Structure 1
């Protein structure tokens, strides 16, 4: 029988950290004399008490390392249950929404999706805006850490490949998970500070710069204004494009750069592919718009580059509506969102690595058909991909596409038009957070989706962020058999 104690103990400590983090926005509102600080403080106390009781009740004198089954359970518990506590400030205080909307907002934050049901952000208490940004910043680092450490161990979605000696990351960079975590935190923090300083230098107010820097580097996309980045000076658009691209790169590569190893980041084929795809998609859309719209080239280039990089990295910021650009651009947008950023970054969707491997598998199959007697193996970066890598990866990609279609149909069955349902599924499972469709158009948010559709999107965000299998495996009866 599985021992739940270690899982409860660690999750209790995570709640303690979450509750303590709530004190920062509470203190900020207190200094501003905003009464919303009381709601934030109440949420903090409730989370701290529950976390403390859970940790005390499950504490043991002889702690043991987690088994693989316990690791699955802990990972799923964090992403499924932590949003419920992170949502408390939205229920107790501004904007005083329902539990459904509060959970959706918190899940969107922690998974760095960026969908929001909140309107009138410009009038929202600063504690709410800061808490949303903090959720995404913490989620971005947590996601990168899960992708680096836990998913390879769990052999989810082909991530076992990143444990092999042939892939120049952990074994040759840092020997232990704790060292990796510390190095990632340092790099992540420095990049966030640099992003905030760049925003300030471009004319953004200090608070907005800090909050938007946190949601930029986490590729989260929670802005501090209802107009997203259209509210800020043009210079900030270009600065954001640069930092969104940086956020879409593997964080471990920045650790190597700090250590004086400059070549691995460029030798990484997914990095080169990510940058190429960003350029190709953007130029294709720019040329299309330039041929069909009577607007200055600079405006077309800036709007297109910003939105396409935001969608590719799964950030979700926007400076213009892509729906007005025509059906051809919407098709490109859909493909861009499916690709995502690099593995080991804060981006979501399929990831460049998985798309590259699928394309390589297709090419291998074609070559095999052309030469049946020839033994052809799929390769990545010149290294053969074995069945232990290819099996979970193909399963993940297939499950990803099927789940996206199923969720789109389910959302449409709740009464949402199919266009809005399809893009809601696309944005939720891919953690893209870029709202498209008639249901979004009225408010620019997901507020007009009904409660059932909102819960479906919440579950989809969590499924997408955990690589589907980490949660789905928990419903299999054989998972619970000893």
Structure 2
């Protein structure tokens, strides 16, 4: 079966058109601040729309058949890479990031909602370019929701497949027949929460520009900030608590959020992944708060807020920081590293392994002990009181094994390029989980600008792998994917 390249490229053309439109949306701020980035945004937007329209109208034709599975894999991966390539144009044309390697790193870090940055003086960047930088995360965050709801379940991969296939929570007949309506509702929630957070942050003391940027990157669980020292710059307990709440919401399955907004709170509160999500946050917040109280002279509220902010930021894979956690005691930094391997909920904008996978792995491990006593018994893993199939369990086990192998290989490769051990494992862990700041030189007080270019290219690949759930990208490197038989 041949790939439908005409359909694939026309779809990518449509993505480029949307990319260009979002670039144009940054122009009002460029005009207002007169930072000299207007021409870069205009030209970049025009190129994106021009190339996109050329691809779309020259290759598009109406197809009666659905998108085939192999076409879908290529659309997803090639689409993310293409918009990231074209997303470098504002950085390059404005001169804000003159190096292509650095510009591509910053762009793909945005679209994958990772939030790792090469910038050492963020405040010196033109305001229109900074807004575009935040916009890349907002596009990527919403894109991954629509992707998981509309495309990945059809391919049989991705976090949402854990629900959509045999697992409980969301059944295919509720999503697939009205996929446009589902996507529209998720968009409305995403936009609505972004606007709501912007208003609250503005009321809390941020100016409109900073409030908008931080709302865009909070709901995307991206973590790009307009300040070099992130949320610590504002030194406001109110702002920190507001961002904590919205980071927490962004890490929840958006379909459950939709049900909660519609008054169906039981769907949210009875969901096992949601319960595990907040229990994990409470547990690690408790440990970190106690450790901080013992380590410094801060009062309980300050220690609790600092702990809660960092735990929610990392588990939701947002990556905002109010403190340099790499300066904490060694055992506390180790806790941070562990949390980097957890991730948010499936069907959210969060990255990482995902809570649901850990839940299935844990339950299956417990059941293995029972199976040793009763080898002939058929004991299924149950999520939300419903059994899930062996296929999903095997998928979870394979995903986690491959994830750990990629982490180990990636860390070794970074060390081989000359990066120190601590920075290597921190950079790989945070890139693969799409978090942002890592450990060592790339912690909250540092940046990725000083690591070798070879390391940056390795990390950009890992960001893409993590954002697209590993298998979606890795399958493109197999011979049977490209086989026509």
TM-score, normalising length from structure 2?
0.95
Corresponding position of 1:287: 290
The structure-2 alpha-carbon separation of the partners of 1:478 and 1:9, relative to structure 1 and needing over 3 Å to count, comes to same
Deviation of residue 24 (structure 1)?
1.7
CA distance in 1, matches of 2:478, 2:373: 40
Superposition pairs of residues 140-289 of structure 1, within 5 angstroms: 140-157=141-158, 159-164=160-165, 167-169=168-170, 175-232=177-234, 233-289=236-292
User: Structure 1 stretch 42-51 or stretch 421-430: which is displaced more?
Assistant: 42-51
Range that drifts further, 196-205 or 371-380? 371-380
Moved more, 273-282 or 149-158: 149-158
CA distance in 2, matches of 1:131, 1:82: 13
Q: Determine helix, strand or coil for the equivalent of 2:321.
A: coil
CA deviations 1:383-436 (Å, max 9, x no partner) are 222122122221111111111111111011000001100010000000011232
Structure 1 residues 104-156: Cα deviation after superposition (integer angstroms, max 9, x where no partner): 11111111011011122122211111101111111111111222232222222
Runs (4+) of structure 1 exceeding 3 A deviation are 61-64, 157-161, 170-175, 370-375
Structure 1 counterpart SS, 2:309:
helix
Range that drifts further, 38-47 or 305-314: 38-47
What is the root-mean-square deviation of aligned Cα atoms in Å? 1.8
Structure 1 contact 159–389 (Cα < 8 Å) conserved: no
Q: 1:134 is matched with which residue?
A: 135
TM-score (norm 1): 0.96
Contact 1:221 1:317 (8 Å CA) reproduced:
yes
1:281-360 paired onto structure 2 within 5 Å: 281-360=284-363
Number of residues of Structure 1 aligned to a counterpart in Structure 2:
481
Shift of 1:164: 4.2
Give, in whole Å, the separation in 2 of the partners of 1:170 and 1:45: 41
CA distance in 2, matches of 1:453, 1:171: 41
**369-378 vs 106-115, which moves further:** 369-378
Q: Distance in 2 between matches of 1:172 and 1:266?
A: 23
Cα 1:297–1:161, aligned 2, differ >3 Å: closer, same or farther? closer
Is the Cα–Cα contact under 8 Å of residues 222 and 317 in structure 1 kept in the other structure? yes
| Residues 12 and 367 of structure 1: CA distance in aligned 2, closer, same or farther (over 3 Å) | same
Alpha carbons 1:155, 1:392 under 8 Å: kept: no
- Give, in whole Å, the separation in 2 of the partners of 1:192 and 1:135: 14
| Residue 20 of structure 2 is aligned to residue 16 of structure 1 | no
Q: State how far apart, in whole Å, the 2-side matches of 1:289 and 1:443 are.
A: 19
User: 2:474 is matched with which residue: 472, 476, 482?
Assistant: 472
Contact 1:435 1:445 in 2 (8 A): no
CA contact (8 A) 2:165 2:171 kept: no
1:376 and 2:398 aligned: no
For residues 290-318 of structure 1, the C-alpha deviation after alignment (integer angstroms, 9 at most, x for no partner) is 12322222222111111111001000000
Deviation at 1:62, TM superposition (A): 4.7
Alignment-derived partner of residue 82 in structure 1: 83
Deviation of the 1:68 alpha carbon: 0.8
Q: Is the 1:119–1:445 Cα contact (8 Å) retained in structure 2?
A: yes
Q: Which runs of 5+ in 2 are unaligned?
A: none
Q: Relative to 1, partners in 2 of residues 1:442 and 1:13: Cα closer, same or farther, differing over 3 Å?
A: closer
Distance 1:64 1:172 in 2: 19
Q: Are 1:461 and 2:463 counterparts?
A: yes
Deviations along 1:77-114, one digit per CA (max 9) or x if unpaired, are 11122100011111111413311111111111111011
Q: Which runs of 5+ in 1 are unaligned?
A: none
Q: Supply the distance in 2 between the matched residues of 1:186 and 1:444 (Cα, whole angstroms).
A: 36
1:450 aligned to 2:465?
no
Q: Shift of residue 319 of structure 1?
A: 0.6
- State which drifts further: 422-431 or 29-38: 29-38
Deviations 1:316-338 (A, max 9, x none): 00010111211111121112111
- Separation in 2, partners of 1:259, 1:295: 41
Say if 2:159 and 2:346, in contact at 8 Å, map to a contact too: no
In structure 1, how many angstroms separate the alpha carbons of the residues matched to 2:73 and 2:286?
Answer: 42
Question: What does 1:406-445 correspond to in 2, within 5 Å?
Answer: 406-437=409-440, 439-440=441-442, 444-445=446-447
User: How many Å separate the matches in 2 of 1:132 and 1:455?
Assistant: 19
Post-superposition shift, 1:169?
A: 2.6
Aligned residues of 1:166 and 1:383 also touching (Cα < 8 A): yes
Partner of 2:120: 119
Equivalent pair of 2:116/2:448 in contact (CA under 8 Å): yes
Measured in 2, the distance between the counterparts of 1:474 and 1:418 equals 30
